[in-house]
Structure 1
Amino acid sequence: MPELQRLRADHAPALLTFEQENRAFFTASISDRGDDYFAHFAARHEALLAAQAAGTDHFHLLVAEDGEVLGRFNLMDVADGTADLGFRLAEKATGRGLATAAVHQIFELSATTYALTSLRASAAVTNTASRAVLIRSGFVPTGEEVLLSGKRGLAYVRELPA
């Protein structure tokens, strides 16, 4: 059974493989990270770990028993009891409820470990899979439209239990 793990330095190789192998799949529903992201991956990974150590962000990976990264679940811009949730799941891991289960684990961590009271999220209108995960997980549309790398999207919010 895959395990949700807090991002660590030793995750870098498996995370890079995850991003490379799923690049085309991700680009179909969200904007491409660009070649620069991959060329400077090591520095980017170190920056994520620094932000995590500072407490402004919390990054998590869904890791298979063999160490393969199946997904990312990030809490970003942590402030005043709230954060933005972002996630992506490997193409081969979709359709099995893994994203929904991981989001529920993020709720638990958010409330107990990070002392958050609510989460915000957004998804492109065309990204029906992510929007379905958000709705199944109890996120409520705010009615606000957002632009996500030039794509029309919808904003959501989820209050967390105390």
Structure 2
Amino acid sequence: MYPQRDVRVRHARDLAFSLLTPEDAFELLAFEIAERAWFEQHIEARREQFYTPHGMSQHIIECLALNAQGRMSPLLIRHKGVIIGRANLHDIDQNSARVGYRLAENACGQGIAHKALNHLMKEARCIYGLDTLTATVSVDNKASQRVLEKAKFTVVDKLPTYSQVVDQRLGCVVYQCALREKVECP
């Protein structure tokens, strides 16, 4: 139904971060379907409805409504114009937010998650004026843990059996970062 895409990225140059728009629905749906099996190995599965044109449109409307309220920043990560991932600030309040990102399988291990996290940190501090970011990561996701630790996030909590992935309950680690000490705004 949707074509498979070759999203191999040789290096993290030519990256662009952009706010999700309704016009992204078809391309984002194709991306999510192509990467579904990869994502569902690491994070909770989305409902079947998400993987339909209507479900994707609803998802985008919900994300943009939260963005209009200042509670979410839903971004797409593109390499040479092609979606290779997503990066979000969500649950934004007066001082803090949660951070999350997901990358295409072929885009992993090339510094893109690090660039996405740095982009989110700068946006959180310089645009939203936030002081603290939090991230929740599976105990098995060593790559994301390294990305967070490299950005000076520290472990603040451990959540046993927090997430349901495939048929297994996974523990997660909660990381936090104080932005005032790490991000300078222009």
Answer yes or no: is the 8 Å Cα contact 2:101–2:116 preserved in 1. no
TM-score by length of 1: 0.93
- Residue matched to 2:76: 61
Identity %: 29
Answering whether residue 51 of structure 2 is matched by residue 32 of structure 1, we say: no
Larger Rg: 2
Answer yes or no: is the 8 Å Cα contact 1:121–1:157 preserved in 2. yes
Q: CA 1:69–1:50 in 2, change beyond 3 Å: closer, same or farther? A: same
RMSD: 1.4
Q: Shift of the alpha carbon at 1:143?
A: 3.2
- Residue matched to 2:158: 144
Identify which range, 1-10 or 114-123, moves more after superposition: 1-10
In structure 1, the gaps of 5 or more residues are none
Deviations 1:5-53 (A, max 9, x none): 1222222222111111111111111121131211312111111111111
For the residue of structure 1 that corresponds to 2:92, the secondary structure is strand
- Residue matched to 2:25: 12
Q: Shift of the alpha carbon at 1:145?
A: 2.1
For the residue of structure 2 that corresponds to 1:78, the secondary structure is coil
Question: Aligned equivalents of 2:29 and 2:142: distance in 1?
Answer: 25
For the residue of structure 2 that corresponds to 1:3, the secondary structure is strand
Question: Aligned equivalents of 2:102 and 2:20: distance in 1?
Answer: 15
Answer yes or no: is the 8 Å Cα contact 2:158–2:171 preserved in 1. no
Task: Count residues with an aligned counterpart.
Answer: 161
Q: Shift of the alpha carbon at 1:116?
A: 0.8
Question: Aligned equivalents of 1:148 and 1:57: distance in 2?
Answer: 22
Answering whether residue 169 of structure 2 is matched by residue 155 of structure 1, we say: no
- Residue matched to 1:78: 92
- Residue matched to 1:91: 105
Q: Shift of the alpha carbon at 1:158?
A: 0.6
For the residue of structure 2 that corresponds to 1:30, the secondary structure is coil
Question: Aligned equivalents of 1:98 and 1:38: distance in 2?
Answer: 25
TM-score by length of 2: 0.81
In structure 2, the gaps of 5 or more residues are 1-13
